[in-house]
């Protein structure tokens, strides 16, 4: 079993705003993926594709744990490409004005049959782009005051 990917970034935003960005499908569209069937509920399944018209890489996930304003955990897999499943946890820790976003992506080795595009390095690079650039700038743009 490999070590999980752990990505951490601090953002200057209230924890409620961060939680909404992670759990509201209308907000997700602005920084993450368009996930029309996303519903925040235990064992809910949601589906999405890479951005673009070609509907590349069907992603599917099932929510496993919800602790409001603290943790969202779900599976992450590609049902049309592999039987392997991974686990993604979004954890939020607050300290005064900042929130530490900690993403843990575990069991990546379950997707090794998919090749280099789905390697640990590829996921790590993708998560840094998604969290460190897209989510961070979305949350820190003109704070709603």
Q: Could you report the per-residue pLDDT of 88-105, keeping only the tens digit for each?
A: 999 999 987 899 999 999
Q: Decide: 35 and 85 in contact? Cβ < 8 Å.
A: no
- pTM for the complete prediction? 0.93
Q: Does pLDDT of 3 surpass 70?
A: yes
Task: Read off the pLDDT of residues 9-66 as tens digits, 9 standing for 90 and up.
Answer: 999 999 999 999 999 999 999 999 999 999 999 999 999 998 877 778 999 999 999 9
Long-range contacts of 40-47 (CB under 8 A, 24+ apart): 40/66, 41/66, 42/66
* 135 in Cβ contact with 11 (< 8 Å): yes
List the one residue out of 80, 132, 90 whose CA is nearest residue 111: 80
Q: What is the pLDDT of residue 102?
A: 99
CATH 3.30.530.20 assigned to domain 5-140? The reply is: yes
What is the 8-class DSSP label of residue 118? Answer: G
């Amino acid at each position: 079993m490999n070590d999980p990917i752990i990505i951490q970034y601090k953002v200057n935003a209230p924890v409620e705003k961060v939680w909404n960005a992670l759990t509201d499908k209308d907000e997700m569209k602005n920084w993450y993926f368009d996930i029309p069937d996303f519903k925040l509920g235990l064992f809910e399944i949601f589906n999405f594709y890479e951005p673009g018209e070609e509907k590349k890489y069907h992603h599917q996930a099932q929510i496993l744990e919800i602790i409001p304003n603290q943790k969202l955990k779900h599976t992450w897999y590609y049902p049309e490409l592999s039987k392997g499943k991974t686990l993604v946890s979004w954890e939020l820790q607050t300290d005064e004005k900042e929130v530490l976003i900690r993403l843990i992506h575990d069991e990546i080795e379950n997707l090794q049959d998919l090749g280099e595009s789905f390697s640990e390095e590829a996921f790590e690079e993708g998560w840094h782009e998604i969290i460190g650039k897209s989510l961070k700038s979305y949350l820190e743009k003109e704070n709603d005051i």
